[in-house]
Every structure is written in C-alpha cells, then in structure tokens.
C-alpha cells in the first residue's frame, strides 16, 4: 500500500514513517506543500496523509488542487487546530477524514485502513487500481497480473516486489524499501542476497512484457520500458 505522508515536523514525520512501514505501508515523505503536490500529481498512491499547516503551499491548497486531478484518492488530513471551522474547511476541500494533533498512532492506522476499505468498495476507485503497462496488466485489488492475457504466476514476495516497482515506476527502488515492503512477511529474511534472487526471478517473468528491471549500481532497481 503506497502512502504519501505530507508533514513538515521532522520528528513527527520520522516517527510516523517508521510506524506506518512497520504495519505494511510503503511511505513517501513530503516535507512541504510544494513537494506534496508534485508527488501526488505525478505518482500513484493508495492513500495520503496531509498536514494542513504545510510550508510553501498550505495543505488546503494542495488538497483542492489534487482533488481536481484525483477525485478518488483517499486523503486524511492532520490539523493542529481543533475547531469546527478548521474541520469543515478540510472536509469541504475534499478530505475524506481528519485527525487533530496530538493523536495516537493506532487511531491513525485504523482510520487509514477504513479509508482503504471504503475505496476498494467503490467501483471507480477499484478501476484506479487496475492498470496497463506495455503488455502487462496489473490489478492490485484482485492480485492478478497477466502478459498479453496470459496469467502471470507470482509468489507473494514477487507480487509485493512488482507492486512496489510499479508504484514507483521511473524511480529507483532501494533494497531498504524492498525489505520494508516485505516486513509484514516473516517467512524469509529480506537479506540483500534474497532480494537479488527475487529480482532475477521477476526479471525473467517480465521478459515478454515490454518492461525491464534495471539494476542501478549502488542504489537499487528501476522498472522501465524496453521501448
């Protein structure tokens, strides 16, 4: 599950990122509104956590702009102002839910999972989780993938790896990010050697898809088109 965390408080963002990754989210952090808007418009996320008090571009402005382009993206706003006016402003701007600081992490996690369940029950949101890259069809909700209509047989770890690479297509995915994404699957330690084995297996399975996994030495892996 790809999550955008837009929060300018470095201590809070570091703590939230670690906690969210520990419960299965792949987290991208934006320290200000300008970065948050750019990432939300350019990348695919399953859910966003947006602080209203962001520097450079405030959270309400980011929310209004992003909502025009991505009406189905679940967004939870964080606000330090516990007032009716603040909550109404966030909801009117397009927020799906809100939390007032300070808050307990279990409540944040519960609200995020509720938003994701709601989005998955929405047909239009489900369509957003089905995509086509070259000859590869990928449906996150149903955990189906195929190449030219032929089902792609993927192990759970290969599926999580492909999901992560597709979610950050044209961006380098580090081994640390892969290990974090696999963190909820304790069946095998995510050592560098095991990651390389799964990359090799997935690379072979994608040979006829029009996509290739390129090793960026010293950094990680990049999914790109063969065209």
The pLDDT tens digits for 58-115 are 998 999 888 877 878 899 999 876 666 666 776 777 788 888 888 999 999 999 999 8
Kindly report, residue by residue over 107-165, the tens digit of the pLDDT: 999 999 998 888 776 544 444 455 677 788 887 666 788 998 889 998 888 888 888 88
Q: What is the predicted pLDDT for the residue at 123? A: 46
Report the C-alpha gap between 189 and 198 in whole angstroms. 12
Residues facing residue 215 across a β-bridge: 221
DSSP code per residue over 92-129 = HHT-SEEEESS--HHHHHHHHHHHHHHHHTSHHHHHHT
In the prediction, which pLDDT does 86 show?
66
- pLDDT single digits (tens) 160-216: 888 888 877 667 888 888 887 776 444 444 566 788 999 999 999 999 998 899 998
H or E stretch at 67: helix 59-69
Q: Is pLDDT above 90 for 26?
A: yes
Assigned CATH topology for domain 2-124: Rossmann fold (3.40.50)
Mean pLDDT over 24-53 rounds to 92
Highest mean pLDDT among 14-18, 41-45, 85-89: 14-18
Q: Which residues pair with 78 in a beta bridge?
A: 51, 99
State in words which class domain 130-225 has: mainly alpha
DSSP β-ladder status, 47-51 and 75-79: parallel
pTM of the entire structure?
A: 0.55
User: What residues does each domain of the chain span?
Assistant: 2-124, 130-225
Residue 185's pLDDT is 46
Nearest partner of 108 among 97, 119, 118, judged by Cα: 97
């Amino acid at each position: 599950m790809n999550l955008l965390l837009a929060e300018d408080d470095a201590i809070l963002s570091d703590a939230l990122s670690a906690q969210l990754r520990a419960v299965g989210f792949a987290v991208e952090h934006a320290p200000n509104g300008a970065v948050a808007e750019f990432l939300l418009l350019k990348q695919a996320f399953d859910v966003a956590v947006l602080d209203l008090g962001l520097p450079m571009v405030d959270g309400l402005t980011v929310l209004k702009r992003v909502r025009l382009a991505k009406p189905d993206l679940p967004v939870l706003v964080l606000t330090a102002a516990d007032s009716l006016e603040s909550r109404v402003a966030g909801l009117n701007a397009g927020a799906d839910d809100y939390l007032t600081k300070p808050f307990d992490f279990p409540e944040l996690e519960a609200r995020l999972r509720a938003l994701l369940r709601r989005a998955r029950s929405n047909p239009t949101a489900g369509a957003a989780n089905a995509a086509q890259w070259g000859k590869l069809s990928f449906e996150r909700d149903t955990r189906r993938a195929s190449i030219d209509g032929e089902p792609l047989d993927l192990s759970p770890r290969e599926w999580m790896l492909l999901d992560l690479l597709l979610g950050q297509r044209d961006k380098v995915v580090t081994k640390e990010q892969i290990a974090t994404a696999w963190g909820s699957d304790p069946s095998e330690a995510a050592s560098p050697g095991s990651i390389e084995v799964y990359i090799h297996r997935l690379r072979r399975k994608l040979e006829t898809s029009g996509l290739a996994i390129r090793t960026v030495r010293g950094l990680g892996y990049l999914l790109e088109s063969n065209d």
